[in-house]
Structure 1
Amino acid sequence: MPSQRRHLRPDYGDVEYVSTGGEVREIKTYSYLNNLLAIEKENFDETPSRNCKWAGCPDYRPLNCNSFHELGLNNENLSHRSNLLGEGAYRAAYSLNLHIGNLTETVVFKEFSEDLSDKYLEYVRMEAYVMSRLASSQYIVDMYAFCHLSVLVENFPRGDMKEKAAPFLKRKNVTLYDTVDVNPLNKFTLTQKVKYALDMARGIEAMHSIDLIHDDLKLAQFLLGNNDHIKLNDFSRTKERVWDPLLKRFKVYRNSGRHGDCRSPEEYAEKELTEKIDIFSLGSIMFSLLTGLIPFDEITDEEEMMDKFMAGKLPFIDPRYKKRDSIERKFVEVMEDCWKFKPEDRPTAVEVARRLEELVMEESI
């Protein structure tokens, strides 16, 4: 946690004002636009096409950090006021009990290393930006405060969906023992699978409704609340759809998505991307909800798995899933539509949410 307050000018000039001990001084820093240009140059060649620009947020505004500092958080008091939940290469997360009047609430404090480059600073700002814009959505993790490299968000003691949906996440050939009937490896009921998928689709729908692309959907990004509902998390890689007035369409972009089990064929092939990558990823997540497996679990080599997706091949779906129950059959059909090879053939997040909502209503009759 930074021990000093840092404030950026609203016009994103190349000067950052730092206040230390009541004294205000200027330091040189990259502006927001310079950061975008630096990232764009890193990801593309020297003369990138106007159709392949890094999709930043041109109307981004910094959030007020006063509420964050009013909590009195710093490295010294964090050590005895919080519990370390996990620590990675770039960020640590703490469980923190906040006392407000007679109320005590457990929240999560995320802190990035101060040694990170400006590119990672923009990742933190993007995460705060998305949670701020989607604060009204019940399918997006709530953010309570944000400043520089630190974010305060709501707590999810039940954790993410990674180990719950696919207990055998390591890429290996798992014996299903399903000679008599299909035997999913997770413990979800069909009702839970449909409702969880609906919550996920609504989180994606909320992002797409304001022209944001998550760009990194996987089971670990969905958190399970005590009310058994799911919220979408981790927006550091989010991209914004930018309209091209000359071509009269949204610009496409590229990412570095060469790894992961839930990416789309066009990501593995490093092609131009649209918001439909999120839909394909949702299809892979629904596969894990359905079966308890990750896509192509029988393949131990990740490169071979990516080659299959790029060739238009899909994981095996036991045909018995479509014969056991009409709702389960329709669930599989939604998943398969999300897995369409051509992005333009995939449904929108609105369409996926509508179809899953119909299944929830049908099951409750």
Structure 2
Amino acid sequence: MLEATRQEISILRQVMGHPYIIDLQDVFESDAFVFLVFELCPKGELFDYLTSVVTLSEKKTRTIMRQIFEGVEYIHAKNIVHRDLKPENILLDENHNVKITDFGFARQLKGDEKLTDLCGTPGYLAPETLKCNMFEGSPGYSKEVDIWACGVIMFTLLVGCPPFWHRKQMVMLRNIMEGKYSFTSPEWADISEDPKDLIRKCLVVDPAKRITVKEVLKHPFFNQMLRKQSRFNARKKFQFAILVIRAMIRIRRLRYTAEPLRVEEAIRDPYRVKVLRKVIDGCAFRVYGHWVKKGEGQNRAALFENTPRTELHALYINNLSR
């Protein structure tokens, strides 16, 4: 156990410094425990955020998934495979930026090394990981399993449920092995083709045909973000110009604006001001309210009514007795 913890610490120190990967601040070791101090992520887990909002828009999903893929690209560049990517292992900082965490299952590969041990969370396991546990002589798996997990995360963010989930775990695992999922639920009706295409390329059963992280970041789904960002900045500048003009107009109108109410005037004629009139009436009712009948036929509003009103409630009660 201690050796596994030290291996995790070693990997954390290799990947720290990236904006979308958790920073390990310090490590303390006692006779019984090892304490890891991480940077603070006050917005909590991506899973909790998704639970509160149910689904994310394409725009928000694009931002979050780009950050996740950039973090994964950095991890893979170190020849490290995470093996447990899921919303619970992705934290959010105060600006809702992604922080990939929990490298307990992560392994640094030696060259083109293939792994065969089964680890991770069932709903996010790649088919090649399951095959290693089910069939002898399986070739093993590598960094492609992280791309599969990212595809599952992206699917989940867009519609609020994972692609392969089934109440019977064996059925779910079979769905994963066969790559059996669909975009037929009503939530997909308003989602464009680009995110669907990216998910399809991430959830390819054959890891050799699965999209790579570098190819992911060049996908139209993310290039669309850059185009929209350019238009968005231009619109922001225009909006800022409008605000400046409005501010100038308001400054020029200051001399025509009514002066604030002075204390002397409020004391002399408080009922002239609507806000003060409401405050006085409210205070008066607090003082004398216990003398006012609080039955159905009389309430606070009756104190200030100047015109008669039909008592519909009384008519209704009388009609019931007939």
Q: Please say whether Structure 1 and Structure 2 have the same fold, judged by a TM-score greater than 0.5.
A: yes
Given candidates 213, 216, 222, the residue that maps to 1:349 is 213
Report how far residue 262 of structure 1 moved.
0.7
Quote how far apart the aligned CAs of 1:122 are. 2.4
Q: How far apart, in 2, do the equivalents of 1:240 and 1:206 lie?
A: 13
Specify the alignment match of 1:314 in structure 2: 180
1:139 matched to which residue of 2? 20
Could you say what secondary structure the match of 2:208 adopts?
helix
SS of corresponding position for 1:345: coil
Q: Equivalents in 1 of 2:62, 2:12: separation in Å?
A: 25
Structure 2 residue runs without a partner (length 5+): 133-137, 232-322
- 1:69-119 Cα deviation digits (max 9, x unpaired): xxxxxxxxxxxxxxxxxxxxxxxxxxxxxxxxxxxxxxxxxxxxxxxxxxx
CA shift for structure 1 position 139: 1.0
In structure 2, the partner of 1:61 is none
Q: Does structure 2 retain, via aligned residues, the 8 Å contact 1:286–1:335? A: yes
Report Cα offsets for 1:20-71 as digits up to 9, x if no partner. xxxxxxxxxxxxxxxxxxxxxxxxxxxxxxxxxxxxxxxxxxxxxxxxxxxx
In structure 2, the residue matched to 1:223 is 91
Gaps spanning 5+ residues in structure 1: where?
1-119, 168-184, 244-249
Larger Rg: 2
User: Secondary structure at the residue paired with 2:122?
Assistant: coil
Report matched runs for 1:51-66 at 5 Å.
Answer: none
Find 2:170's aligned residue among 303, 309, 315: 303
What's the counterpart of residue 152 of structure 1?
37
1:260 aligns with 2:125: no
Output the amino acid matched with 1:349. Answer: V
CA shift, 1:224, in A, is: 1.1
Cα distance between partner residues in 2 of 1:320 and 1:292: 12
1:219, distance to aligned residue in structure 2 (A):
1.1
**1:331 counterpart residue number:** 195
SS in 2 for 1:128: helix
**Pairing of 1:39-78 with structure 2 (within 5 A):** none
Q: Do the aligned partners of residues 258 and 222 (structure 1) sit closer, same or farther apart at CA in structure 2, a change above 3 Å counting?
A: closer
**Bigger Cα displacement from structure 2, 343-352 vs 125-134:** 125-134
- TM-score (ref. length: structure 1): 0.56
Q: Once the 2 structures are TM-superposed, how far is the Cα of residue 359 of structure 1 from its aligned partner? A: 2.8
Going from structure 1 to structure 2, the CA distance change for 1:154 and 1:264 (only over 3 Å counts) comes to same
Report the alpha carbon displacement of residue 204 of structure 1 after superposing the two structures with TM. 0.7
Q: CA 1:345 to 1:203, structure 2 compared with 1: closer, same or farther past 3 Å?
A: same
Structure 2 equivalent of residue 197 of structure 1: 65
Deviations 1:172-208 (A, max 9, x none): xxxxxxxxxxxxx724222111101111111111100
1:127 and 2:12 matched: no
Is the Cα–Cα contact under 8 Å of residues 166 and 289 in structure 1 kept in the other structure? no
Sort the Cα spacing of 1:346 and 1:144 in 2 relative to 1 into closer, same or farther, 3 A: same
Query: What is the CA-CA distance between 1:153 and the residue it aligns to?
Result: 0.3
Identify the match of residue 56 of structure 2 among 188, 194, 204. 188
Structure with more helix by fraction: 2
Q: Is 2:228 the partner of 1:363? A: yes
Amino acid at match of 2:21: I
CA contact (8 A) 2:43 2:96 kept: no
- For residues 352 and 147 of structure 1, the distance between their equivalents in structure 2, rounded to whole angstroms, comes to 38
**Letter of the aligned partner of 1:363 in structure 2?**
K
Q: How many residues align?
A: 219
